Amino acid sequence: MRAVTVCPGVADSLRLVEDHPEPLPEEGAILVEALAVGICGTDHEIIAGGYGEAPPGADRLVLGHESLGRVLEDPSGTLQPGDLVAGVVRHPDPVPCPNCAVGEWDMCRNGRFTEHGIKALPGFARDRWRLPPRFAVGLDRSLAPVGMLLEPTSVVAKAWEHIERIGGRAEWQPRTVLVTGAGPIGLLAALLATQRGLAVHVLDRNTTGPKPGLVRALGATYHTGSVCDLDFEPDVVLECTGAPVVVLDVMYKVAPTGIVCLTGVSSGGRTIDLDAGALNRALVLENNVVFGSVNANRRHWDLAAAALARADPSWLDALITRRVPVEAYTEAYTPEPDDIKVVLEFGS
C-alpha cells in the first residue's frame, strides 16, 4: 500500500512509498481505510529534518497526524464498518508517569510519550491504518469533508479547557479574546471563542487572501499590524504564531487578571532585547498567567468533535484551501501564499 514517509533528521527525504507493509495487528483492533490527512507546520518541520523520530528499528517515519478515515472492520464493536474515524495522536508513555497513568498523556511528565506521524509511531498518511478502540474517535457523517480538522480542534479544545480552569482561580468574567495568528489553530481557537459568546479579535499580518473574510464570518474583528497598537486589553489571549515579538507583546497587552495561552511552537535561534524585570513586574502586579499548551487527551478530542458538530459546515470547509490527491503529494507539502489548511486525499 502507499505511504508518505520521511527519514527523520534528513532534510528533503519526503517520499511516497508504493509497497509499504499493511498495518500490523499489534497496532490495534480497528482497521481503517484512509480518506485524508491534514498538513501542518509540524509536518513541514519534520520534512526539513528538524523534528520527528522513526519507530524503533525503522529508518523511515510515515507522516500524518491529522487523520480522517473510514472503518473497515472493528471486532471490538466500538465502531461500525463505514463509520468515520480519526486517530488520537499521542499515546501515553510506558512507565507511565502520573499524568499518562490517568489518560492525561497530553501532560506527560517524562517525555516518553509517542505520537503518530511525529514521534516513534507511524502516521496516518498511508492507505490503511489500525487503532486500539480507546484511541479511535468516531465522527458524525456530516463531517466527512472536514473531519481531518478534528486534530487541530482538539488542540484548541484543550487550550480553552485549561484557560477556563485557570480562570476559575478567582471570580472571572472574561469578555474580550485576542487570537494572534489566523492559521488553522488561530481560526479554530477563534471559532471556540465565539461558541463561548465572547467578543473575539484576531490579529494576523495578512491583509489579503481568505483570512479576513473567515474571521468576519465568525462575527469577529480582524486586525493587522502590531499588538501594541490595539486599542483594548484582552482578558484572554491565544497566541498562535510563535513569533517572538508577538509572544512578548501579548504578555504586556493582556488585561489585569488576564490569561495568555501560548500554542505556537517557535523555531528558536533568534534573540531579541527584553527588559525581563519590567515584564515580571507587569505580570506580577496584574495577577496575569502565561502558560503553554500542546496536544490533547481523549476528553479534548470529544469536546472538539462536539465543537465541530456545532460549527457552520461551510465555514469549516473554507478553512481547507487546497485538497491534493496523494499521487501529487509533493504539491501538498509545498506551501502556497494563501494556504490555510492543505489536505492530502487518499480515497473517494
Site residues (CB under 6 A) for ligand BGC? 40, 42, 65, 89-90, 115, 118, 151, 155, 294-295
Provide the grid cell at 339: 494556504
For residue 146, the minimal CB distance to ligand BGC (Å) is: 16
Lookup result for grid cell 472538539? 304
* Cβ closest to ligand BGC, residue 227 vs residue 261: 261
Q: What are phi and psi of 127, to 5 degrees?
A: -60, -40
For residue 157, the minimal CB distance to ligand BGC (Å) is: 12
Burial class (CB in 10 A: 0-12, 13-18, 19+), 169: exposed
* Cβ closest to ligand BGC, residue 84 vs residue 155: 155
For residue 151, the minimal CB distance to ligand BGC (Å) is: 6
* Cβ closest to ligand BGC, residue 153 vs residue 180: 153
For residue 298, the minimal CB distance to ligand BGC (Å) is: 13
For residue 221, the minimal CB distance to ligand BGC (Å) is: 27
Contact call for residues 121 and 23 (beta carbons, < 8 A): no
For residue 155, the minimal CB distance to ligand BGC (Å) is: 5
* CA gap 26, 329 in Å, rounded: 28
For residue 194, the minimal CB distance to ligand BGC (Å) is: 22
* Cβ closest to ligand BGC, residue 227 vs residue 240: 240
* Cβ closest to ligand BGC, residue 5 vs residue 114: 114
Distances 13 to 42, 121, 149, 263 between C-alpha atoms, Å: 15, 18, 26, 28
Contact call for residues 28 and 130 (beta carbons, < 8 A): yes
Q: Which of 69, 71, 62 is nearest to 20 (CA)?
A: 62
* Cβ closest to ligand BGC, residue 88 vs residue 178: 88
Q: What is the dihedral of CA 107, 110, 111, 114, to 10 degrees?
A: -80
* Cβ closest to ligand BGC, residue 90 vs residue 253: 90
